[in-house]
Structure formats: structure tokens, C-alpha cells
Amino acid sequence: MTNFIIEHQCPQCGAPAELEESDRLFHCAFCRVGSYLTVPDFFRYTMPHKAPAGKRLIYYPYWRFKGMLFSCLKTSIENRFLDVSHQALNSVHFPINIGFRGQTQKLRFAAAEQQGTFLKPEVALEDVLNLWREQYSAKLPKPILHQDFIGETWSLIYAPFYLDGKVVDAVLDQPVSDAAIEHLEEGLLQPDTRQWPLTFLATLCPQCGWDLNGDRDSLALCCNNCHTVWWEKGGKLKPLKAAHVPINGEDWVYLPFWRIQADVSHIQLETYADLIKTANLPKVVQPGWDQRPFYFWNPAFKVRPQTYLTVAGNVTLNQPTDHLEAGRPKGRVHGVNLPLKEAVESLKLSLASFLRPIERRAEVIPRIEIQPRRFLLIYIPFQETHHELVQPKLNLAVSKSMLAHAKNL
């Protein structure tokens, strides 16, 4: 598993700092000022080079992707974790991927002032994803009813090269191959516009001015003073609708969940009574259950692919109805590091995992459409034991070491 290190400077005081790839919240060790990193589309990095002075550098673009690929089959849901890179511009003269070079190098954010030609990517990330999807699906039994990439981080990495009768890899200062090159593909060396804004937002509560808190990879920032929760939208901090199940005691840790209400086509799944039929739960429908709205519950935190659907299925089938209080809880909270968008994408897989009888899956899943309507971020308390976080009412345990490792996913 790769987690790149990125070197940069504190936007306030200029002190050198190192970030991990998944870091969003940055606290400067020198000036103590916090900032939240954001870009309008995706992060772009460069690798350092060892090219001799005077060489004209070419920065070649590679898509970099880390995430889970889920494949829904007739009676099982397969998953695999991908940590891959691929050319974002087709050429036979440059390496097809960045290989292991990124793991041994510290990256920097790509910036307009860097010397060299940054080549314009021509291959869409979608196309590269489809390539990987086909590659990993070759060995799976058919039919594949549905597939999705979930929980991904992706970025564009520019690797430096220069031309010297050969294509020379400037990271190692070694030729890519011994073959001399007459000429590169026509039109390959198109420079990009290099307009890559990188914004550091001050992490002060927009409502009360207090410092906002969160884990380094957190997508939601909490105010401990006015108990509001914030997230970045369009380059600004905006309120995030959040609630929690209140509890007293020191040994509780809150895990965040996306509770999503959605329109599901082809099957009736609007109420708790509908869920009992859809999942064939061993329960007799009680009066009023046909009035209780049905919600999908998905983890808002990263876990291993095997665990992700298990946790989502557990909470969704339990449909918690605890009394909720608005805002963040007072106790310890685990950061939100799985975006809402990813949770929404996984709803179909979640439904496939509890749809019964399982024979219905082949007929229903390929046709079904799930349209999210509204959501709420809900913090559920888990009791901390030596190795696990346990939610007694849900009969659900999450391993603490797995949660810690999942941060690199």
C-alpha cells in the first residue's frame, strides 16, 4: 500500500512541512495555524528530478488511483483493493505506469512556476478505470451484475523526463530503454495551461470564530464551541447537517455514518415494512412500520473492503431509531474520511447485499436505479474495549487496528 509523502510550505509562515496523500487538514508545527487543503478538481503532484543542469524537462502525466473495486455477482460480492497508476497520455516511448518510483520519492504539489513542459493529459481517468475494471474482471465468474469503485483517492502525477537521443527518466537519471528514438509520436508534446489553484482555507468556525477540529484526513470539521460541523463546498466552508445519538461516559467513541434517503426503482423500498419484505427479515410487521421511512446507512469512515458492506448492511438492517441531537457530539469522534459521493455510489451494492431471496439479485440489480434525495451525517456511539469499538444495540464490533490501517486505503 502506498501513501505518498508530499513536501510543501506552510501558507502562513513558509515553514517546511510534510503531508500524507490523504491529508486535508494541516496544522503548522511552527505557527500553529490550521488550514484545510482544497482544489476544484483533483490534486496534481510532481516528482523530484536528478537531471543534469541545462536539460529541458518534460513532465509526463500519470493517473494515480487508490480504492476498492466491488463486483456484484449472482450469489456473492467480490472486492479488491487497487493501488495503481497509468499513463494519462498514450506513448510507446514512456513507461506505462510510474511503477515503484513514487514510493521512494517525496512529491510536491505541481505549480505553475516550476520549470519544464507539463504535458497535457489526453486519456480520461474513466477510460483508465475501465481498463483496470476489465483486467480485474477477466477471472470473475459471469454474469457480473454491477461494479463500482468506492472510496477512491485519485490524482495526477507528473513524472520528469528529458530527451537525449533517448527518453531519459529524470527521477533516476537513467534512460527508459536503450533504443535510440528518432522521433516521438506527433503532437505528444502539447503543453498544459497549468492553471492549478491550490487553496488553503483558514480553519476557523464561520459561525463563532473558534478553531475547527478534525483528523488530518477528515472531510468534515467540527467546532467544539458551537457544536456545528463544516465541509468544503466550492472552495468555501459550508455547514454540514449533522446529528448524534447522545450518550454519557468516557469510554465511548463516535463513528460517523451517512444516513441517506433515496428513491429506489423497480422494487418497493420506502418504509421499514418494505425493508422487512425486501431483506426477508424474520420479523412480523407491526402497525406504524409502513409509515417509518427507510434509510440507507453507510460508513462515513474508511474500512477494509470486506468490512465496508458488512457494516453498511448491519446498520441499514437495524434502522436505528435512537433519539438524535443536532450537531457534533461532545465526546471523541472518528473523522469523516469517506465522502458522501462514495457512500451514494455504494447504495446499489449495499442493497444487493441484503436483497432476498438471493435469486432475485440477477433480475433486479442490473435494472435498478437509486436516486438519493436527502442525507444526514449521524454520529453513533461505540464503546471502546481493548481491541474493538462495540455498538451493543447493533451487535456490531469494529476492530481498532483495522480502523487505524484503513486510513491508508
Instruction: Return residues touching Zn ion (CB under 5 A).
Output: 10, 12-13, 15, 28, 30-31, 205, 207-208, 210, 223, 225-226
Nearer to Zn ion, 144 or 202 (CB): 202
CA distance 166 to 172: 14
Q: Which three cell numbers stand for residue 253?
A: 467513541
CA distance 258 to 298: 5
Nearer to Zn ion, 12 or 114 (CB): 12
Does the CA dihedral 47-136-405-215 come out positive or negative?
positive
Q: Which three cell numbers stand for residue 289?
A: 412500520
DSSP secondary structure string, 27-38?
Answer: E-TTT--EEEEE
Q: Which three cell numbers stand for residue 88?
A: 494519462
Nearer to Zn ion, 99 or 239 (CB): 239
Residue 322 Cβ vs Zn ion, minimum distance, rounded to whole Å: 25
Residue 119 Cβ vs Zn ion, minimum distance, rounded to whole Å: 33
Nearer to Zn ion, 15 or 179 (CB): 15
Tell me if residue 21 falls in helix, strand or coil.
coil
Residue 38 Cβ vs Zn ion, minimum distance, rounded to whole Å: 18
Q: Which three cell numbers stand for residue 241?
A: 447537517
126 phi-psi bin (left φ>0, alpha ψ -120 to 50, beta other): alpha
Neighbours of 401 (CB within 10 A): 9
The DSSP call for residue 248 is: -
Residue 210 Cβ vs Zn ion, minimum distance, rounded to whole Å: 5
Nearer to Zn ion, 11 or 102 (CB): 11
Written as one letter, the residue type at 199 is: T
Nearer to Zn ion, 207 or 318 (CB): 207
Nearer to Zn ion, 210 or 289 (CB): 210
Write the CB contacts of 84 (distance below 8 Å, at least 6 apart in sequence).
64, 65, 66, 97, 132
Residue 36 Cβ vs Zn ion, minimum distance, rounded to whole Å: 14
Residue 403 Cβ vs Zn ion, minimum distance, rounded to whole Å: 27
CA distance 17 to 183: 41
Q: Judge contact between 156 and 61, C-beta under 8 A.
A: yes
Residue 149 Cβ vs Zn ion, minimum distance, rounded to whole Å: 35
